[in-house]
Amino acid sequence: MPTNTPTNTPTSTLTGREWQLAARPHGWPTPADFALVEAPVPEPGPGQILVRNLFLSVDPYMRGRMNDAKSYAPPYELGKPMQGAAVGRVVASEAEGVPVGAHVVHGLGWREYAVVDAAQAAVVDPEQAPLSAYLGVLGMTGLTAYVGLLRIAELAPGETVFVSGAAGAVGNQAGQIAKLKGAARVIGSAGSDEKCALLVDEYGFDAAFNYKNGPVAEQLAAAAPDGIDVYFDNVGGEHLEAAISSLRVHGRAALCGAISVYNDTEPAPGPRNLGLLVGRRITLRGFLVGDHQDLRDDFVREVGGWLREGRLRYRETVYTGIDQAVAAFLGMLRGETTGKTVVALPE
């Protein structure tokens, strides 16, 4: 068509690379557990769009999907493309309202091209924020921080908050939201002195400690001598036990994940101090962001405003090239990255 309107990309011979799970990891995954495969890209059917992915998300929960265990997300199938959040550009469309040239967030990452049901994709505006932000600070990780802190832990102004894994995508945002919502004191833990400095200097945490420098319980008690009211748990294990001991009467813990034990092959020792829950009337509550999509509009409005005002900061660790996706995932799991970890796919 001799117009300037973007048109469908011919797709009949299109191929794209995708990551498949080659073997189920036992303990820590290794590159040999994954295979990068070139595969034909199907044409979009009615109501579908073809998306050229521009950024892929790697997230801790994906480790669970590599196991063949019943969980909230179905396991990845061996020899099939994996899945995950991605943002991309529509290059062919058979769906009304989602034209070629639009940008969308969807759930078929770990691949260069994806055919997506338009109903499962959300159009996003690259003028409002960089595209990668829709995977992080304005995406699922950001909403996770928002939901966990405000709805699950029910943060009230004036309270003291502890966030573990605080240099991660969810953690740093949880800490910043806590401050923006009036927390009196926000403490973070991270796995290096550099990350701790970042938490205080860039993200405005009141205190931070490197959990590798000593027992978590001792470092937390030193940072919060009067105890904490809210614990945002990204880590589990020793952190959770220490936080329970520090929680005050009517304290709440939002359990977001437990990255410290995802690769354990034996059950980790559990917190020995759950008896404290009774006398202190403590609540521990696990949550998944998927249950709380009703908060998304509030979240985008509020966090978007903070971003525009420069009151909320974020960092990304960007790996480039689809061949780097497994490296990105493993680097994130090992704590080598800071902020949200994404994989950029140059066209």
Of the candidates 234, 257, 338, 329, the residue with the CA atom closest to the CA atom of residue 28:
329
Separation CA 172–CA 294 (nearest Å): 23
Of the candidates 339, 164, 170, 334, the residue with the CA atom closest to the CA atom of residue 262:
334
Report in angstroms how near the CB of residue 287 gets to its own copies at its nearest: 6
Q: Does the protein bind its own copies through residue 327 (CB under 8 A)? A: no
Q: Does the protein bind its own copies through residue 280 (CB under 8 A)? A: yes
Report in angstroms how near the CB of residue 84 gets to its own copies at its nearest: 17
- Beta strands 228-233 and 247-255 are parallel
Q: Does the protein bind its own copies through residue 236 (CB under 8 A)? A: yes
Instruction: Give the start-end residues of each E strand in 111-245.
Output: 113-117, 122-124, 160-163, 185-190, 207-210, 228-233
Q: Does the protein bind its own copies through residue 168 (CB under 8 A)? A: no
Work out whether the CA dihedral 245, 250, 254, 255 comes out positive or negative: positive
Binding its own copies by CB under 8 A: which of 52, 257, 303, 319?
257
CB of 155 or CB of 196, closer to its own copies:
155
Of the candidates 143, 91, 136, 85, the residue with the CA atom closest to the CA atom of residue 109:
85
Report in angstroms how near the CB of residue 64 gets to its own copies at its nearest: 8
Count CB-CB contacts under 10 A for residue 93: 23
Q: Does the protein bind its own copies through residue 258 (CB under 8 A)? A: yes
Report in angstroms how near the CB of residue 243 gets to its own copies at its nearest: 12
Binding its own copies by CB under 8 A: which of 272, 308, 311, 334?
272
Report in angstroms how near the CB of residue 60 gets to its own copies at its nearest: 11
Query: Helices 216-223 and 237-246, interaxial angle, to 10°?
Result: 40
Report in angstroms how near the CB of residue 330 gets to its own copies at its nearest: 20
Q: Does the protein bind its own copies through residue 306 (CB under 8 A)? A: no
Q: Does the protein bind its own copies through residue 221 (CB under 8 A)? A: no
Report in angstroms how near the CB of residue 182 gets to its own copies at its nearest: 24
User: By CB under 8 A, what part of segment 51-70 binds its own copies?
Assistant: 64
Write the DSSP assignment of 213-258 as a string of letters: GS-HHHHHHHH-TT-EEEEEESS-HHHHHHHHHHEEEEEEEEE---
Tokens matching residue 14: 């299109």
Q: Does the protein bind its own copies through residue 16 (CB under 8 A)? A: no
Q: Does the protein bind its own copies through residue 153 (CB under 8 A)? A: no
Placement of tokens 């520090």 in the chain:
246
Chain residues in the site for its own copies (CB under 8 A) = 64, 71-72, 236, 240-241, 249, 255-258, 261, 267-288, 291
